[in-house]
Amino acid sequence: MIKPSIPKGTRDFSPIEMAKRNYIFNTIREVYHLYGFHQIETPAMENLSTLMGKYGEEGDKLLFRIQNSGDCFRGITDEELLSRDVQHLSAKFCEKGLRYDLTVPFARFVVMHREEITFPFKRYQIQPVWRADRPQKGRYREFYQCDADVVGSDSLLNEVELMQIVDTVFKRFGVRVCIKINNRKILSGIAEIIGEAERIVDITVAIDKLDKIGLDNVNAELREKGVSDEAIAKLQPIILLSGTNDEKLATLKTVLADSETGLKGVEETEFILHTLAALNLQNTIELDLTLARGLNYYTGAIFEVKALDVQIGSITGGGRYDNLTGVFGLPGVSGVGISFGADRIFDVLNQLELYPKEAVNETQLLFINFGEKEAAFAMQTLLQVRAAGIRAELFPDTCKMKKQMSYANAHNIPFVALVGENELAEGKVTLKNMTTGEQQLLTPAELITAIKS
């Protein structure tokens, strides 16, 4: 008998972990609904022709491929087999692969269902994705993504609402965050005015080190990367950019005066920040030029969220992109989206102990089982208790009280109901508060009131 196990990089979720994860997903879902986003789901398996070439060469290698059912060798010559060419033969053995992210299936969905969709299409999607990555701490081969996107609208109000969603979600979690915002057009503008369009990534990486290594070392690093002295001189006000968002925007307007694209980025950012300023965000939002995520993908605003009280990478991110669906033959569909990192948020809430008790303690009341007659009375009472919306159980077996109480303890059940001979005679229930130890003799109606209060 082999001890059973699960594939590396995958996880089982226990009831307590599920309760916490559901709390996270439900909070995000509720806020998405408040803002008019609608859920879709796509199949776990997509045709490999849909997935291949969308994630770069590295990504193609990380796809989980599903072997064709039936005779997977049909149509393959002996020579091909003996070539042992994994890439070539995989393509013959496997027509399907597991979803690698939610974006490509979403693009495929928009194209396939474009006749049924009324644009702007505000969709959210909470589903697992699979990547044949090397498993390591905090990185899994199966994990959930929670994405929301608006496609088919160029309005910057979408960016504004996504930031409101981010702010509301973390307010509800009780997590203090800093929302960082940047704009791809500002970065392009910077590259343009210093004549170093190709080095924009090197430049943002260097700027990001200012606090740690100081201005001289940043400039030295830029020089090392081949940025010209003239360009470095022009870059100085940008490297030293500081102050409030408005001060930063003012500096950028001067520096980027000659770049139409750059000024457009400044204007967009200004609109987003000024509109948000009137909307009472709980968390701070900061213009951060070092934010350069997904540079090849995003075309306008870029967002990222950092937790203030826990050392952890970005817990949410997103941005505006053009041409989501061009690769599937439908050009001109632009959009903007965000993605909450559920696994990291799970860790943050764990570390800060922010799970509300009622989200995690699922059963509220356990009836101890003293025998057939007592159980019959308990089941009658349970009819009323459950009709009142209280989550309650009767211990199914008539075993030792100690075993039944340890079940209540193991599940953190806050109330235990005892029905013995005396209670039965009176038609009442002894309710024990497991936190205080206090006991009360109550009618079923009083019991409901006691638990609900």
Tell whether the torsion through CA atoms of 287, 235, 268 and 250 is positive or negative. Answer: positive
Burial class (CB in 10 A: 0-12, 13-18, 19+), 286: middle
User: What does the per-residue mask of binding to its own copies show for 186-205, with x meaning CB under 8 A?
Assistant: --------------------
Kindly provide the residue ranges of all beta strands, DSSP E only, lying in 152-269, ordered along the sequence.
177-183
What is the distance between the alpha carbons of residues 200 and 177, in angstroms, rounded to a whole number? Answer: 27
User: How distant is the alpha carbon of residue 138 from its chain centre?
Assistant: 14
Structure tokens at 207: 């700027």
Among positions 120-139, residues that touch its own copies (CB under 8 A) are: 120, 122-123, 128, 130, 132
Is the CB of 220 or the CB of 359 nearer to its own copies? 359
Amino acid identity at 138: G
Chain position carrying tokens 């196990």: 5
Is the CB of 329 or the CB of 437 nearer to its own copies? 329
DSSP-derived letter for residue 139 is B
| Per CB under 8 A, 347 contacts its own copies | no
Is the CB of 2 or the CB of 425 nearer to its own copies? 2
| Per CB under 8 A, 332 contacts its own copies | no
Is the CB of 39 or the CB of 351 nearer to its own copies? 39
Stretch that binds its own copies, among 148-156, 176-184, 208-216, 225-233 (CB under 8 A): 148-156
| Per CB under 8 A, 6 contacts its own copies | yes
Nearest residue to 314 via CA among 103, 170, 188, 162: 170
We find the least distance from the C-beta atom of residue 264 to its own copies, in angstroms, to be 17
We find the least distance from the C-beta atom of residue 33 to its own copies, in angstroms, to be 5
State which of residues 236, 380, 439, 449 lies at the interface with its own copies (CB under 8 A): 380
What is the distance between the alpha carbons of residues 5 and 299, in angstroms, rounded to a whole number? Answer: 44
State which of residues 35, 202, 205, 253 lies at the interface with its own copies (CB under 8 A): 35
We find the least distance from the C-beta atom of residue 282 to its own copies, in angstroms, to be 12
Element of type H or E holding 190: helix 184-193
| Per CB under 8 A, 268 contacts its own copies | no
| Per CB under 8 A, 47 contacts its own copies | yes
What is the distance between the alpha carbons of residues 179 and 169, in angstroms, rounded to a whole number? Answer: 12
Is the CB of 45 or the CB of 295 nearer to its own copies? 45
State which of residues 257, 279, 308, 445 lies at the interface with its own copies (CB under 8 A): 279
Is the CB of 363 or the CB of 430 nearer to its own copies? 363
Stretch that binds its own copies, among 90-98, 225-233, 315-323, 424-432 (CB under 8 A): 90-98
- Residue 283 contacts residue 179 (beta carbons within 8 Å): yes
State which of residues 197, 240, 257, 376 lies at the interface with its own copies (CB under 8 A): 376
| Per CB under 8 A, 19 contacts its own copies | yes
Q: For residue 168, which phi and psi values (nearest 5 degrees)?
A: -65, -45
What is the distance between the alpha carbons of residues 302 and 162, in angstroms, rounded to a whole number? Answer: 11
Nearest residue to 273 via CA among 282, 281, 262: 281
For 89-127, b/e burial (b = at least 16 CB within 10 A) is beebebbbbbbbbbbbbbbbbbbeeeeeeeeebbbbbbb
| Per CB under 8 A, 113 contacts its own copies | yes
DSSP 3-state of 377: helix
Among positions 391-420, residues that touch its own copies (CB under 8 A) are: 391-398, 406-407, 410-411
Among positions 160-189, residues that touch its own copies (CB under 8 A) are: 160-161, 168
| Per CB under 8 A, 449 contacts its own copies | no
Interface with its own copies: number of residues (CB under 8 A): 109
| Per CB under 8 A, 96 contacts its own copies | yes
